[in-house]
Structures are given as C-alpha cells and as structure tokens.
Amino acid sequence: AMACPQRSLAQVQERVSAVHHSSSLSQQICLYDDWAPEYEQDVRVLEYRAPQLAAACLAAAFSALPHEAVVLDVACGTGLVCQELQKWGFCRMHGMDGSMGMLERARRKGLYQELKQCILGQEPLPAPTGHYDAVIIVGALSVGQVPSSVIPELLRVTKPGGMVCLTTRYNMINLPYVAELRAVLDGLEQRGLWEKITVQEADEWERATSALASYSHRSSSAAGLSQCARRGHEAVST
C-alpha cells in the first residue's frame, strides 16, 4: 500500500482534537481504528516524545533486571512505548488497548508476547492480580481519554513492590484532570499503597502541547495493593 502524504501540524492537531472531543466512547474507538494506519506518521509530525521520556523514566527507576521483567503496556496503541522500552532491555511485553485497529498494527511488529483489547475505565484489565513487574500507561491519562479512576486497577495487576509508570499532559485544558489525578495518587500514597519514586517534568512533550509529567511509583504490599484496587475504584466512581 502507498504511504499517505504527510499531514501538516494543523491537520494532525485537528485529528487529535477530534479524538479527544468525540461524542461517545464507541465513536472514539472508531476514530482510533481509522487513525491506526497513519498514527505513527502523524505523531512524528507532532514530535511526540512521551514514549521515549516515559521509557527512560521507568528504566531509571527500575532496580531489577529489565530483561527478566514482565511489563504491561496499557493503552499501547501501535507499540511506540514498547519499541522504546526494548532499547532499555525490556523484552517481555504484554499490551492492551481499546482499539482493534491499533492492536493490529502493534501485532504486526511482533514485539509483544500478548495483546488484548480492553476498554480502559469501562471494564477491569484482563489480567490476574499482582501479575506484572511493571505497568506503564503513556498518553492516555488526560481529559476525554482514560479516567483517573483506572489507577487502582493498574495497581491491582502490578506485583507488590512492582513499578507503575504513567504520564499526563500539563496543557491548560488538561489541568482539572491533572488535579483530579494528583488527588487519586495522593490518596493512594497516604494509604501506603503507592510510594513515589520519581517525578520528572519535561517541557518538550510534543509540538501540540507544552509539557509532560512522568511519574514512576512503587506499590508497597499485596494486601494494600488489592485493597486499594477495590476501595480506590469505588471511591473514585461514586
């Protein structure tokens, strides 16, 4: 198939806006399915650096051997984060995303041992409790995307002492979401379920947006982790 002509920055920003302001979840998933063939070409136009920044953040905070770790890439899209993590020695990767179009693109790369569809925030992650050495979610925690109430579920599937790495945007429209996310994280930390390891801010998230916050946290104990996943989710969703 012939490559599509490269879109301008304004055209790509328009597409990003359409996805973020879709009228329903089903419409949003259809938009992502349609975007999948040109997604990587478009994020190159945006100079989207979140996958590199997040992978470096996780690698710096991760104390075990990366090649032995089983990592879950949540909202994995076409596999950009997985490609970056491989550069740091992570090679046992599972991916989840709401878009089958994106998952098919990721599958073609052959980087993941397992890929599953999951509508984040609408259903539990299809993974056992305490299963992953690290869980990473990049680019999806923002207004109009994945709700902050998914955080306890990310913790649920992480091993006690395992790492959770997440990113969020700091642009103006996303500030209320950032405040909400921070409240969720602070609540988990106060309960001893979430120990902050690093917080990195970067000014060069992408050309469409100005800043990135990349967080790596370590979950503390098995009982605390499972309790948090249950109690935290219920509290956020009421």
Residue 4 lies in a domain: no
Same domain, 105 and 171: yes
Residue 141 lies in a domain: yes
Residues 104-116 pLDDT 10s:
999 999 999 999 9
Number of domains in the chain: 2
Same domain, 38 and 74: no
Same domain, 21 and 54: no
Residues 224-236 pLDDT 10s:
111 112 222 322 2
Q: Calculate mean pLDDT across residues 137-152.
A: 88
Q: Calculate mean pLDDT across residues 175-187.
A: 87
Q: Calculate mean pLDDT across residues 60-71.
A: 91
Same domain, 105 and 200: yes
Same domain, 58 and 161: yes
Mean pLDDT of all residues belonging to the chain: 80
Same domain, 66 and 21: no
Q: Indicate whether 89 pLDDT > 80.
A: yes
CATH number, residue 167: 3.40.50.150
pLDDT, residue 60, reads 85
> Residue 75 carries which side chain, given as an amino acid letter?
A
Residues facing 158 on adjacent strands: 132
Q: CA 29, CA 32: separation in Å to the nearest integer?
A: 5
Q: Indicate whether 209 pLDDT > 60.
A: no
Same domain, 62 and 92: yes
Same domain, 13 and 95: no
Same domain, 231 and 165: yes
Residue 230 lies in a domain: yes
Residue 1 lies in a domain: no
pLDDT, residue 214, reads 52
- Domain that residue 31 falls in: 9-46
Q: Indicate whether 222 pLDDT > 50.
A: no
Q: CA 80, CA 135: separation in Å to the nearest integer?
A: 15
Residue 65 lies in a domain: yes
Residue 30 lies in a domain: yes
Same domain, 30 and 109: no
- The contacts found for 213-216 with CB under 8 angstroms, 24 or more apart, are 213/167, 213/168, 213/170, 213/178, 214/50, 214/53, 214/54, 214/57, 214/165, 214/166, 214/167, 215/57, 215/165, 215/166, 215/167, 215/185, 216/57, 216/58, 216/60, 216/61, 216/163, 216/164, 216/165
pLDDT, residue 53, reads 85
Instruction: Give the residue among 155, 173, 141, 149 at the shortest CA–CA distance from 225.
Output: 155
Task: Give the pLDDT band (50/70/90) at residue 201.
Answer: low
